[in-house]
Structure 1
Amino acid sequence: MELSAIMTSPTRTKPEPPQLADHPVLDMLNTVCMHEGERHDFWQTDTDVVDWLVRAGWLAGSDESDRGDQALLMAARDLRGIVQVLVAQRKAGDRLSLEALNGYLAEAESYPQLVLGEGREPSLVRVRPRHSARQLLAPLAEAAAEMLVGADFSRIHTCANPECILWFYDRTKSRRRRWCSTSTCGNRHKVAAYRKRHRR
């Protein structure tokens, strides 16, 4: 998928990563895409990562400031790379290299807290300390671990467009989804096939 197709609004000058994978962990992998034959990383600063975490629902609000040390950026890219390798290994049926992801999971501290809602009925929420970049990313690491254990990997694919590297989880009943997006890569394939037929 090209960057031009990911622009969310005519008024936006900065494209946002697509959220079309039908799985939040695969959406994280899709924060890298191909543009004019080269890889483009949507995560260039701590702020980019925070904005994505908020947009994807991993953070309630962008209360994490960009401190300039890029610790969150480095940790997020590291976690993304770890998960990318594990998903590829799981998809291929290879032995999984679990040590690096387990390192993130070891820092995933949390504890339950009772809170009262508007109707004064108690509910239980899980509070997560966010003293470090790795703790901030802990819910995403846990989601990746859960996907590796419980997902149907026969439904996890990369786009059939050889020039696209985006992942998706095929939730269709027919199990025949081939494209990251039918409106971009799928449409390009149809147009190319149409032109090929008419050249003949």
Structure 2
Amino acid sequence: MASINEPIEVIVGLGDDPALELVNTLAVPVPGMPAVELIGDGSGYLTWLARAGLIDRHELDAIAEMFSPAELDDVAVAARDLRERLRATVLAWIANPAAPIPSEVTDRLNAVMQSGRRFTQLHHDDAGGLQMHDHHHWTHPTQLLVPVAEAWGRLLADGEPRLVRRCEGCTIIFYDRTKAHRRRWCSMALCGNREKVRRHRAATAHDDVTDA
């Protein structure tokens, strides 16, 4: 079983979708253990944004200097509130893929996205060519919610509800991008192997009883 000494190292990426990564910032990856909170404060939220690929890691220091710790902590509170609103939405989606998305959810996401500001610049790539890249223009701390709202907008608009699933062994929610669409676990290291061990022990116990 994978170690969870560094939860962010283990949990981020299991969702296979940046929108679902937000829901998994509060998770119980090992049954019976306390829930793991990845965005308990502003610093944690910034670190998670970068690890989830929602902001450029090179921006972290600049953003940390741009906004005060108190402002970033307030954004983390707002992110946690948004997370729980969206958790209810995605759990309803899993239970009934045909369920409509509540207008209060889309209204909330639209309000966040409306606050975003962007600009585009040319950058040299490793091959010596040029590429266009979009950049966020941060003027207010609440704009740090925009990348999350955009990720959720893409999931709700373009995602396939039947491929959004909850791990059979823990609380992690993921998007099944496997070719056969038969994924059951957040990861083999965390839950798949644990289930194999459980089945093996059950089979061994059954054999012992049968042989007795």
Q: TM-score, normalised by structure 1?
A: 0.82
Provide Cα deviations, 1:90-118, integer angstroms capped at 9, x if missing partner: 3323332222222212212324x343537
Q: CA deviation at 1:87?
A: 1.9
CA distance in structure 1 between the partners assigned to 2:129 and 2:204 by the alignment:
66
Identical columns (%)? 28
Checking the alignment, whether the CA contact within 8 Å between 1:75 and 1:133 is kept in structure 2 is no
1:100/1:187 CA distance change after superposition, 3 Å: same
Q: How many residues align?
A: 189
Q: Is it true that 1:29 corresponds to 2:32 in the alignment?
A: no
Structure 2 gap segments, 5+ residues each: 207-212
Provide Cα deviations, 1:104-158, integer angstroms capped at 9, x if missing partner: 12212324x3435379966433232212233122122111111011111211101
Instruction: Out of 67-76 and 124-133, give the one that drifted further.
Output: 124-133
Q: 2:149 aligns with which of 125, 141, 144?
A: 141
Which protein is bigger by CA-based radius of gyration?
Answer: 2
Q: Is it true that 1:54 corresponds to 2:50 in the alignment?
A: yes
Q: CA deviation at 1:37?
A: 4.3
* Greater relative contact order (CA < 8 Å, ≥ 6 in sequence): 2
CA distance in structure 2 between the partners assigned to 1:94 and 1:75 by the alignment:
26
More helix by share: 2
Structure 1 gap segments, 5+ residues each: 8-13
Q: 2:122 aligns with which of 101, 115, 127?
A: 115
Match of 2:122, SS? strand
CA distance in structure 1 between the partners assigned to 2:135 and 2:178 by the alignment:
35
Provide Cα deviations, 1:149-171, integer angstroms capped at 9, x if missing partner: 1111211101011xx11011111
1:68 paired residue number: 69
Q: Is it true that 1:80 corresponds to 2:78 in the alignment?
A: no
Q: Is it true that 1:177 corresponds to 2:183 in the alignment?
A: yes
Checking the alignment, whether the CA contact within 8 Å between 2:23 and 2:83 is kept in structure 1 is yes
1:93-104 equivalent positions in 2, closer than 5 A: 93-97=98-102, 98-104=106-112
Match of 1:5, SS? coil
CA distance in structure 1 between the partners assigned to 2:195 and 2:118 by the alignment:
46
1:114/1:121 CA distance change after superposition, 3 Å: farther
CA distance in structure 2 between the partners assigned to 1:120 and 1:174 by the alignment:
38
CA RMSD of aligned residues (A): 2.5
Instruction: Out of 116-125 and 144-153, give the one that drifted further.
Output: 116-125
Checking the alignment, whether the CA contact within 8 Å between 1:79 and 1:141 is kept in structure 2 is no
Q: TM-score, normalised by structure 2?
A: 0.77
1:71/1:122 CA distance change after superposition, 3 Å: same
Instruction: Out of 72-81 and 124-133, give the one that drifted further.
Output: 124-133
